[in-house]
Structure 1
Amino acid sequence: MSTQRPFRFAVQSYSAESPQDWRDKARKVEELGYSALHLADHYLGDGPALKATNHPHQRYAAIPLMTMAAEATTTLKIGARVFCIDYRPLAILVKEAATMHWLSGGRIEFGLGAGWLAGEYEAFGIPMDRAGVRVSRLDEYVRAAKMLLSGEEVDIDGEYVSLHGFAASPVPETPMPIMIGGGAPRVLGIAGREADIVSLNFDNSSGKIGPAGVQSSTAEKIDEKVRWVREGAESAGRELPEIEIAGYFTVVTPDEASGAATAEQFGKMFGLEAQEIIDHPNCLIGTLDQIAERLVERRERYEISYVTVSDTNMEAFAPIVERLAGT
């Protein structure tokens, strides 16, 4: 039975033309009624390494942009979907996030992920362990992050985290929700057990964006992913957490025929039939009425209430935010 959590909507952005453009974008996201503005945590510049990943170019680093967006707004939540735990030491990342939370008046959503973009690891000379090791490290990092955020003196001597003899500061005056992103059974089980928000992602074991990842999150497969989250939650005596879905492939069309044509184009890109794209939980393609109806249906089926769209589509999508946010 669905928990029927109220809808929240976020915008995902990778770029800005200038500092003022970024401030204006953050204010526009807030003005349009979105709950949050998210970035990614990627660093590759243009070149063959980035091209091989098929990932969008994120020109500027997430943390400075998050801080500026928080300064430019008053109610908008700010986050990264999600910070890669291998790119910086845990205690440093937690302190940076907690400081942003303090500066923003408690508006940071703290996303954590095991890391997946193989070309970025290789280009930067960062060792990339096999998936099982990275997920084990994420599990340990999340539990250690919670201890750091509690303000308790830490004494942790784990396989991947060693922290001793200090209490982290600042301690958030209001809870800083933890988001965990992933698409495979074990990481989603950890997310169900530990996270406040779960970002349902593709299975990115290929290490790049491509058909295999998109095909790993079709409608039937998302049923299974939600089950993994639910089982993780139940193992910790929790109810199913709030689930975020990243609707990157968002196209608002003027009529149903245009939506069908667009779905067919996306299907050819990712090796799926047009109807599979229309039904795909990471795709929102169609008229405003069609998309609104699908969101309500998907919340009932998957208990998904938190929806992310790209900044290139945020204005076209805004009537749906006005219609459904908070309902």
Structure 2
Amino acid sequence: MTRLGYQIPNFTYPGVEPERLFPAITRQAVDAETHGFDTIFVMDHFYQLPILGTPDQEMVECYTLLSALAQHTSRARLSALVTGNTYRNPTLLAKTVTALDVVSEGRAQLGIGAGWFELEHDALGFEFGTFTDRFQKLEEALVIILGMLRGERPSLDGKWYRVHDAINSPAPLGRIPVMIGGGGERKTLRLVAQYADESNLICAPNEIARKLDALAGHCETLGRDRSEITVTLQTSACIAPTHDQATHEFEAYLARNPAAEVRRASTIVGDPDEVAARYTDLLATGIDGVTVNAPANCHIDDRVALLGQTLAPLIT
């Protein structure tokens, strides 16, 4: 299960040309695995998100990338954070995640969510629909995908998907954990309680207690043991050997990506002691771990390693 996950959310790095992009990504994954991160994530998007850059910035298709990273890593789990359910038929997604499990020798994880980035859907021809539509699709998809991943041959004549005796061969090498991302208290956390092994919350720290209470309530209603579910919080950090270096690197990032200014207050910036103190406070809220991205300075040598060295000792 994920206790300390490293997410790679951006692929536009100063001075890194397209032909050197994959080595720059691979270095991050290797450093993350070497220095204590148990799961490596990439985003499942085709356009860069508004809070990270512009739509025309580089985005690499996630499952192709994860399968390639599997050949350069050996221990860390590999996952999207999170797969947009709207982008793939659930039977295709089950086969794709299973293929990742096979090529990674049993290290695949399914992170999944309802999908939300309307611009991307409209531009690329994916049906977006209403909020209710997307959550209905997600639940039907989970029924199909989990059946296929767990050795069943599911059939479903649903509102959105129709499958009959869906075969998944070869089967996964082990039990593929399922993480549902988001913090919606009525819909998302109910789906977590019913279907998932892990929850990745997206919320402010002062909302964590309420989210955990909501999840516990859904578990009680469904007869699920809350302790079976691992809960992590999505975070952003910019770490460097000194406070001044970290601040300089974060400000340089904002200068390159003005849209990221909205992340100023939520990004944890500082030297190892400062970053460790902030994450210690977060872990005291009752969550089991964190997922971390570092878009400001992940391209700088040793920053991902330093982040792992700082955070791994906090996870017990």
Q: TM-score normalised by the shorter chain: which range applies?
A: 0.7 to 0.9
What's 1:176 paired with?
176
What's 1:208 paired with?
none
Answer yes or no: is 1:306 the counterpart of 2:281.
Answer: no
| Distance in structure 1 (CA, Å) of the matches to 2:244 and 2:281 | 18
Q: What amino acid sits opposite 2:135 in the alignment?
A: V
Shift in Å at residue 109 of structure 1?
1.5
* Correspondence 1:179-190 to 2 at 5 A: 179-185=179-185, 186-190=187-191
Secondary structure of the 2:116 match is: coil
Secondary structure of the 1:65 match is: helix
| Distance in structure 2 (CA, Å) of the matches to 1:242 and 1:122 | 34
Shift in Å at residue 319 of structure 1?
4.0
Answer yes or no: is 1:246 the counterpart of 2:230.
Answer: no
What's 1:285 paired with?
269
Answer yes or no: is 1:226 the counterpart of 2:208.
Answer: no
What's 1:12 paired with?
8
Change over 3 Å in CA distance of 1:249–1:130 after alignment to 2: farther
Shift in Å at residue 102 of structure 1?
1.1
Change over 3 Å in CA distance of 1:307–1:252 after alignment to 2: farther
- Whether the 8 Å contact between 1:252 and 1:317 is mirrored in structure 2 is no
Change over 3 Å in CA distance of 1:145–1:137 after alignment to 2: same
| Distance in structure 2 (CA, Å) of the matches to 1:65 and 1:166 | 26
Q: What amino acid sits opposite 1:117 in the alignment?
A: F
- Whether the 8 Å contact between 1:285 and 1:291 is mirrored in structure 2 is yes
- Whether the 8 Å contact between 1:253 and 1:285 is mirrored in structure 2 is no
- Whether the 8 Å contact between 1:177 and 1:196 is mirrored in structure 2 is yes
What TM-score comes out, normalization by structure 2 length? 0.80
What's 2:36 paired with?
33
What's 1:211 paired with?
none
What's 2:309 paired with?
322
Change over 3 Å in CA distance of 1:192–1:85 after alignment to 2: same
For residues 238-271 of structure 1, give each alpha carbon's deviation from its aligned partner in whole angstroms, at most 9, with x where no partner exists. 2142122222253457349986xx79x99x944x
Runs (4 or more) in structure 1 with deviation over 4 Å come to 50-56, 256-259
| Distance in structure 2 (CA, Å) of the matches to 1:218 and 1:18 | 32
| Distance in structure 2 (CA, Å) of the matches to 1:66 and 1:157 | 32
For residues 193-229 of structure 1, give each alpha carbon's deviation from its aligned partner in whole angstroms, at most 9, with x where no partner exists. 321121212xxxxxxxxxxxxxxx3332233223222
| Distance in structure 1 (CA, Å) of the matches to 2:126 and 2:32 | 34
Once the two structures are aligned, what percentage of the paired residues are identical?
A: 21
Change over 3 Å in CA distance of 1:55–1:81 after alignment to 2: farther
What TM-score comes out, normalization by structure 1 length? 0.77
- Whether the 8 Å contact between 2:200 and 2:231 is mirrored in structure 1 is yes
Shift in Å at residue 108 of structure 1?
1.1
- Whether the 8 Å contact between 1:251 and 1:313 is mirrored in structure 2 is no
- Whether the 8 Å contact between 2:279 and 2:311 is mirrored in structure 1 is no
Change over 3 Å in CA distance of 1:54–1:132 after alignment to 2: farther
Answer yes or no: is 1:235 the counterpart of 2:238.
Answer: no
Change over 3 Å in CA distance of 1:301–1:52 after alignment to 2: closer
Q: What amino acid sits opposite 2:213 in the alignment?
A: R
Change over 3 Å in CA distance of 1:55–1:231 after alignment to 2: farther
| Distance in structure 1 (CA, Å) of the matches to 2:21 and 2:53 | 24
Segment drifting more, 30-39 vs 6-15: 6-15
Segment drifting more, 127-136 vs 247-256: 247-256
Secondary structure of the 1:183 match is: coil
Shift in Å at residue 34 of structure 1?
2.0
Secondary structure of the 2:238 match is: strand
For residues 158-183 of structure 1, give each alpha carbon's deviation from its aligned partner in whole angstroms, at most 9, with x where no partner exists. 22231103422222231111111123
Change over 3 Å in CA distance of 1:130–1:53 after alignment to 2: farther
* Correspondence 1:93-132 to 2 at 5 A: 93-132=93-132
- Whether the 8 Å contact between 1:12 and 1:309 is mirrored in structure 2 is yes
Secondary structure of the 2:91 match is: helix
Segment drifting more, 59-68 vs 246-255: 246-255
Change over 3 Å in CA distance of 1:220–1:88 after alignment to 2: same
- Whether the 8 Å contact between 1:193 and 1:238 is mirrored in structure 2 is no
| Distance in structure 2 (CA, Å) of the matches to 1:151 and 1:159 | 24
Shift in Å at residue 104 of structure 1?
0.6
Change over 3 Å in CA distance of 1:7–1:292 after alignment to 2: farther
Shift in Å at residue 92 of structure 1?
0.7
| Distance in structure 2 (CA, Å) of the matches to 1:88 and 1:254 | 44
